[in-house]
Amino acid sequence: MGMRKGRILVTGGCGYIGSHTIVDLIDNGYEVVAVDNLSNADESALAGVAKITGRQVRNHVIDLAEREPTLRLFREEQLTGVIHFAALKAVGESVQQPLRYFYNNINSLLNVMAGMAETGVNNLIFSSSCSVYGNTTDLPVTETTPRQAAESPYARTKQMGEDILQDYCRVHPAFKTVLLRYFNPAGAHPSSLIGEASANPASNLVPVITETAMGKRSEMTVFGDTYATRDGSCIRDYIHVMDLAHAHTLALDFLLANRQQSNCELFNLGIGEGVSVLEAIRAFEQVTGQRLNYRIGPARPGDVEAIYANYDKAAAELGWQPTYDITDIMRSAWAWQQVR
């Protein structure tokens, strides 16, 4: 084993995207330290990471919305960079509990930035979301497509996070950040040792599908079939979590090699193809041979009719390419559902 490329703090490292990213970072020569307050996860994901990579990652159980413990963590660890995943992410819950979402997501970011400033750590990757585009009709979405009003407090925390980092970068030229706007992450590691395991009940399409097929739900609802799309159901850009994880490693490589043109870079991460809800269901049925018990219901308030990414910028500047499609997503999500 040669020299590692640097030591990275992964916030939200016990969560869904964080745990998959840790695997990719270790596989690509980074050393990782995690911090997670276990509000939506437990440390079993890190046991899965250890089985996959042969490395046990240490987790600090700290609430990043608290300033002092967060600063202490930065003083203790000698870090090369930070990937900031930690956030609350349930869109519907954020509508009901806006202050909790603003408190958690904004304070966590501010405290991480303060810790970085105090200890001279200058490389940050931030988890943003396609939800910052709001109800856009400009498809496919590029990084320069204007953001529309946020459809939820959750989405607003992501817009605010982007704005905070942009303002900070303007006056701190040594600080470098990459904002990654994820489209719809889904699927699991091919080993089925890690996957999506929220403490909160699932509301995203792919886990709802696999839980219905497992019998954990008696049926599922397709939210609307009268949209102006090819089959009437909503269109999204489902990106495999392994492809998404690798983009974080590439974004770090990019910052550490100083290949950025600005100290605040922005990338869409989607596969560039729209898949409808009914197509996703069909893909699941084909891959698994299961028949899914679904019915057509009313549209879900706040849903965008169709959104998918243009990822040319990530391809050109990060050298990133998606390698998995919706069938791979369904196969791995189903395998994970059966063992979790």
In angstroms, give the least distance from the CB of 306 to ligand NAD: 17
Smallest separation (angstroms) from ligand WQD to the CB of 147? 13
Three-class secondary structure assignment of 238-263 = EEEHHHHHHHHHHHHHHHHCCCCCCC
DSSP conformation class of 14: T
Q: Has 238 been annotated as catalytic?
A: no
- Catalytically annotated residue among 16, 101, 133, 154: 154
Does 202 contact ligand WQD by CB under 6 A? no
Q: Per rule CB under 6 A, is residue 15 in the interface with ligand NAD? A: yes
CB 297 within 8 A of CB 223: yes
* x/- track of binding to ligand WQD for residues 176-195 (CB under 6 A): --------x-----------
Binds ligand NAD by CB under 6 A, chosen from 8, 9, 10, 17: 17
Instruction: Give me the sign of the Cα torsion angle 23, 28, 31, 32.
Output: negative
Any contact of residue 260 with ligand WQD (CB under 6 A)? no
The residue at minimum Cβ distance from ligand NAD is 15
The footprint of ligand WQD on residues 70-129 (CB under 6 A) is 89, 91, 129
Closer CB to ligand WQD, residue 159 or residue 184? 184
- 168 binding partner (options ligand WQD, ligand NAD, none; Cβ < 5 to 8 Å by kind): none
123-129, strands of its sheet edge to edge: 59-60, 31-35, 7-11, 81-84, 123-129, 176-182, 264-269
195-254 binders of ligand NAD (CB under 6 A):
198, 204
Do strands 220-223 and 59-60 pair parallel, antiparallel, or not at all (unpaired)? Answer: unpaired
Among positions 205, 245, 252, 309, the unique one binding ligand WQD when judged by CB under 6 A: 205
In Å, how far from its chain's centre is CA 54?
Answer: 24
- Say how many residues touch ligand NAD, by CB under 6 A: 29
* Residue 31 interacts with, from ligand WQD, ligand NAD, none (CB under 5-8 Å by kind): none
Length of the chain counted residue by residue = 340
| Crossing angle of helices 326-339 and 205-214, rounded to 10° | 50
Structure tokens at 195: 């996957």
Provide the pairing of β-strand 264-269 with 176-182.
parallel
Q: For 225, phi and psi rounded to 5 degrees?
A: -135, 25
- Measure the CA–CA gap between 211 and 270, rounded to whole angstroms: 24
- Which one of ligand WQD, ligand NAD, none interacts with residue 59, CB within 5 to 8 A by kind? none
Q: Mind telling me the catalytic residues?
A: 154
List interacting residues with ligand NAD (CB under 6 A). Answer: 12, 14-18, 35-41, 63-65, 85-89, 104, 108, 127, 129, 182, 185, 198, 204
Interacting residues toward ligand WQD by CB under 6 A? 89, 91, 129, 131, 184, 203-205, 208, 220-223, 234, 236, 277, 300, 303
